[in-house]
Amino acid sequence: MTAGAEASRDNDSRARGSTVTVADITLVADLSGAFVWESERLLVVSDLHLEKGSSFAARGVLLPPYDTVATLARLSAVIARHVPRTVIALGDSFHDRDAHQRLSAPDRQAIAALQARRDWIWIAGNHDPALPRDIGGAVASEVAIGGIVFRHEPTGAAGEIAGHLHPKARVTTRGRTVERRCFASDGMRAVMPAFGAYTGGLNIRDPAFAKYSRRRASWRMCSAITGCTRFRRRAATEISCRLAL
């Protein structure tokens, strides 16, 4: 990649998100819901919950069976935008232990295409604690890179990036209130939003977040995750709120 192309990519990534500092490491919080560590060429997503729709259907709750296709399409777009050398899927990538067996052939091919020419790490989550070896990539319980530990469930440790809690926040600006998935960080640790198409969220005021933060936390709202374009231009500046846990 030429210097000009790399500079263009960096400018584009910052235009589509704001920066978040975790334990002195600056990351781009992409509006898709992915973290990007540019100097490491690392992209991180959490809680894909692939095949959640088919899991619900097996229990008689009929949902449109397109969540895996939609999630993989969004993941493909963010990977194409940032061209990472490594991708970490931060746990609960599959909604249940048998979800990988329900993947369609085109979905398996899509995952293989995303993994091509890069390192791919699946972190085990509470929904998928025993990840299969036939889906490509490496499997780990957690990964440490340059002082940052990536794991599924947060522990509150400094230098930690986790998922699991599916944070969301409510923000009021110019007379309008929106509630969207968000990145939650207090500067020393962060919890990522769920990336999957059928994943819900837990409000950052919920007591579940309190035990993971040592001090007042800064929550950055990535409203464009669900296409709220009116707020997209201000996501990196105005849509940043400080809430007591």
| Predicted pLDDT of residue 12 | 53
| Predicted pLDDT of residue 18 | 84
How much is the pTM? 0.83
Residue 228 lies in a domain: yes
| Predicted pLDDT of residue 170 | 82
Residue 182 lies in a domain: yes
**CA distance linking residue 188 with residue 114, whole number of Å:** 30
Query: What backbone phi and psi angles, to 5 degrees, belong to 224?
Result: -75, 0
Residue 134 lies in a domain: yes
**CA distance linking residue 199 with residue 206, whole number of Å:** 17
Contact indicator for 48, 165 with CB cutoff of 8 Å: no
**Cross-strand pairs, 74:** none
Residue 242 lies in a domain: no
**CA distance linking residue 220 with residue 20, whole number of Å:** 8
Cα distances (Å, whole numbers) of residue 29 to 58, 66, 128, 169, 226: 35, 26, 25, 15, 15
| Predicted pLDDT of residue 208 | 84
Blockwise average pLDDT, block size 10, the chain, 245 residues: 50 65 94 95 97 86 89 97 97 92 95 98 93 91 97 95 92 81 89 93 86 55 39 37 29
Beta-carbon contacts of 110 under 8 Å, excluding residues fewer than 6 positions away, are: 72, 76
Residue 89 lies in a domain: yes
Residue 79 lies in a domain: yes
Q: Residue 230's domain spans which residues? A: 3-237
Of 240, 65, 85, nearest to 169 (Cα)?
Answer: 240
Residue 105 lies in a domain: yes
CATH of the domain at 124: 3.60.21
**CA distance linking residue 118 with residue 91, whole number of Å:** 19
**Cross-strand pairs, 85:** none
| 69-73, long-range: CB < 8 A, 24+ apart | 69/106, 69/107, 70/197, 71/195, 71/196, 71/197, 72/107, 72/110, 72/111, 72/114
What's the one-letter identity of residue 51? Answer: E
| Predicted pLDDT of residue 214 | 57
| Predicted pLDDT of residue 187 | 87
Q: Residue count of the chain, please give it.
A: 245
Share of the chain above pLDDT 70, in %: 80
**Structural domains counted in the chain:** 1
